[in-house]
Chain A
């Protein structure tokens, strides 16, 4: 065996070993115990109904804060090779701690909701704007949920609207999702109030 052979083997071995370690290092970190890195949460929330894939984002990717009236952009892609109709419902709600001592946040209050019937050609992509015309209160957590609205919510949809009245059973879609969540926390703002009766006084929109 010549020195050149040994050098070749050593170089290949070193490279292979390095590649093996790099490849398998991250895979062995399983989600679970404290101190380890959890798998990242999904960054894009996708709702799929009848083969139409929908995502939601603030218009032009703007950050949202207290006082803003959000405009949402729904991007919908019909992944099927047939036309499709989907009734989508968006609901924006907010909640906040009733007071610093309470067990949980208040029941979410609906700030705005809208429902649209969207029709797609095969493979078509649409971007639909949803202006809320609702100003966001301060110091709340805001959730925007996306789900099935209209007659679809009851489990039936016209297979071919032009044929008129023919119904087919809806293929089960995923349940409503929280498409977006963000907070309008204002540093230093004390929003906790306790009433004379001892009950937490729940901030209402008029308090903001």
Chain B
């Protein structure tokens, strides 16, 4: 039988123990609340992040030059470089752009692909920090030293831009490019599930629950898709409209001689199997309630090299929607067909030369990550004005307001 001294001792011990835990709790180790993952099509671009590695100069020089030159003056671009010499080299690429360029030195190797390193989660409340959500680890880091350096980029940026930006590492393995996000949904490519199941999660339900909790959007896991990052074959353009690549259209747009002259690795891939994968994405988007619009694409048989026109950066400036659209030398008819699709959607097109970029399995969207956007609110217009505006731009008309997107 317990004596009263023991009972009192246990009570005192419990109170003391929990007091110690409360007093020593470090707020830094508790994940701060974060808002939803940033939409890739809504809101005005405010802060971007690119990575620059001098050995990749030939791959990115033209793309960075065209893109940065076309950006507005109110956009800040953080240029992540290994060191000062790398930034000096980068500075020779650009030609006095209007946007603000800020170097960020990390002192370790890295690649030049910013998109896959992290995804930005908006502040949970106005004035709160933006969260950079980095994957648990990078694919191939054991055989790829630069990729091991990439794993640290989220933390580097968080440290440099604290306290308004903070880094957080996910329990899950992913590449940032595995997600395709708008203001309602996050589309996730199937391979992310396979990377995680029985490694970080027990089953699909647990995987979806973690994603939904962290990204705070409805998660749509694609059952079938090309084995590549989502931004290589699809783009959500707002107003529940999804652009999906169409290899058959790519084939129709280019004479066979032109396609051959590109020297795509193992040749172009217009097989029924590959066409089926693109079509399957279109079907799944339609089933999710999206209006699907197709756009030409030419995939290569290596499964990685795509001449794609959905790997874009989108901006919203008041009434205008702008797309920074890749183009490729030697395929003018393909470029024109793709441009027409975007213009038909109401986008103003700003072209970016990605002729040397796509050969390395990525394009503009893969090079540029978005740290913050400014929220846009619908404009108040008369019925006549609305009809007029919609005739010009089928996507919703918005006006940018102060403050980050939530």
Question: Which A residues are closer than 8 A to B by beta carbons?
Answer: 5, 8-21, 24-25, 28-36, 38-39, 41-42, 45-47, 95-107, 139-141, 145, 174-179, 183, 185, 191, 197-200, 202
What are 21 A-B contacts defined by CB distance under 8 Å? A8-B6, A11-B9, A12-B10, A15-B13, A17-B17, A28-B21, A30-B29, A32-B31, A34-B158, A35-B29, A38-B171, A46-B198, A97-B144, A103-B361, A103-B362, A141-B142, A174-B198, A174-B204, A178-B194, A185-B142, A200-B265
- B360→A107 contact, CB < 8 A: no
Contact of A33 with B31 in the complex, beta carbons under 8 Å: yes
Residue in chain A with minimal CB distance to B214 = A32
Query: Please, which residue of chain B has its CB at the minimum distance from the CB of A179?
Result: B198
Chain B residues with CB below 8 A from A29, complex form = 29
- Segment 1-21 of B: residues with Cβ below 8 Å from A: 3, 5-6, 8-10, 12-14, 16-18, 20-21
Q: How far is the CB of B50 from chain A (nearest CB, A)?
A: 14
Contact string against A for B residues 19-37, beta-carbon threshold 8 Å, 1 for contact and 0 otherwise: 0110001001111100000
**List of B residues within 8 angstroms of A199 by Cβ:** 263-265, 305, 359
Chain A binder among B111-119, B179-187, B333-341, B370-378: B111-119
In order of increasing CB-CB distance, the 10 nearest A-B pairs are: A16-B13, A20-B17, A12-B9, A32-B31, A103-B362, A107-B303, A13-B12, A13-B13, A9-B9, A17-B16
- Nearest Cβ distance between residue B310 and chain A, in whole angstroms? 15
CA distance A140 to B139 in the complex (A): 12
- Contact with A12, one of B13, B30, B142, B169 (Cβ below 8 angstroms): B13
The answer to whether the Cβ of B175 comes within 8 Å of any Cβ in the partner chain is yes
Known A-B contacts A5-B5, A35-B29; the reply to A175 vs B303 at CB < 8 A is: no
Contact with A20, one of B14, B29, B143, B147 (Cβ below 8 angstroms): B14
CB pair B359–A32 under 8 Å, yes or no, is no
A contact residues around B265 at 8 Å (CB): 199-200, 202
Q: How far is the CA of A100 from the CA of B155 in the complex (A)?
A: 22
Q: Give complex CA distance A57, B356 in Å.
A: 43
Assess whether B71 is interfacial by the CB under 8 Å rule: no
Please give the distance in Å from A97's CB to the nearest CB on chain B.
5
Neighbouring A residues of B140 by C-beta, 8 Å: 95-97, 105, 141
* Cross-chain contact B199 with A100 (CB below 8 angstroms): no
* Complex: A11 Cα to B197 Cα, angstroms: 47
In the bound complex, CA of A103 to CA of B115 (Å): 10
Q: Is the CB of A197 within 8 A of B9?
A: no
Give A154 Cβ to nearest chain B Cβ, in Å. 15
Given contacts A32-B169, A38-B171, A101-B55, contact A20 B193 (CB under 8 A): no
Cβ–Cβ contact A38 & B136, under 8 A: yes
B10 touches A177 (CB 8 A): no
User: How distant is the Cα of A200 from the Cα of B16 in the complex, in angstroms?
Assistant: 63
Query: When the two chains form their complex, are residues A17 and B198 in contact, meaning their CB atoms are under 8 A apart?
Result: no
Q: Knowing A33-B169, A38-B171, say if A197 contacts B136 (CB, 8 Å).
A: no
Using Cβ atoms and an 8 Å threshold, which residues of chain B touch A25? 21
Say which residue of A36, A39, A175 sits within 8 Å of B197 (CB atoms): A175
What separation, in Å, do the CA atoms of A25 and B24 have in the docked complex?
A: 10
How far is it, in angstroms, between the C-alpha of A148 and the C-alpha of B163 when the chains are bound? 49
Give residues 165-201 of B contacting A (CB, 8 Å): 166-169, 171, 175, 193-195, 197-200
B25 contact set on A, CB distance < 8 A: 28
**Additional pairs, 9, CB under 8 Å, beyond known A28-B30, A174-B204:** A5-B5, A32-B30, A38-B169, A101-B112, A103-B229, A104-B304, A107-B227, A145-B194, A199-B305
Bound-state CA distance A45–B200 (Å) is: 10
When C-beta atoms are compared, the residue in chain B nearest to A100 turns out to be B146
- With A34-B155, A35-B28: A107-B166 Cβ-Cβ less than 8 Å: no
Which residues of chain A are within 8 angstroms of B345 by Cβ–Cβ distance? none
Q: Is B85 an interface residue (CB 8 A)?
A: no
CA distance A18 to B143 in the complex (A): 45
Given the complex of chains A and B, what is the CA–CA distance between A191 and B12 in angstroms?
A: 64
**Cβ B9 vs Cβ A178 within 8 A:** no
Whether B360 pairs with A13 at a CB distance below 8 angstroms is no
Q: Are B21 and A33 interface neighbours, CB within 8 A? A: no
Q: A-facing mask of B47-67, CB < 8 A → 1, else 0?
A: 000000101101100000000
Give the chain B neighbours of A140 by CB distance below 8 A: 143
Flag if A9 contacts B8 (CB, 8 Å): yes
B139-A105 in contact (CB<8A): yes
- With an 8 A cutoff between CB atoms, is B203 at the interface? yes
Known: A20-B17, A141-B140, A199-B263. A103 touches B6 (CB 8 A): no
CB distance from B214 to the nearest CB of A (A): 9
Complex CA distance for A33 and B146, rounded to whole angstroms: 23
Shortest C-beta distance, B57 to chain A (Å), equals 10
Cβ-defined partner of B143 (8 Å) among A9, A139, A198: A139
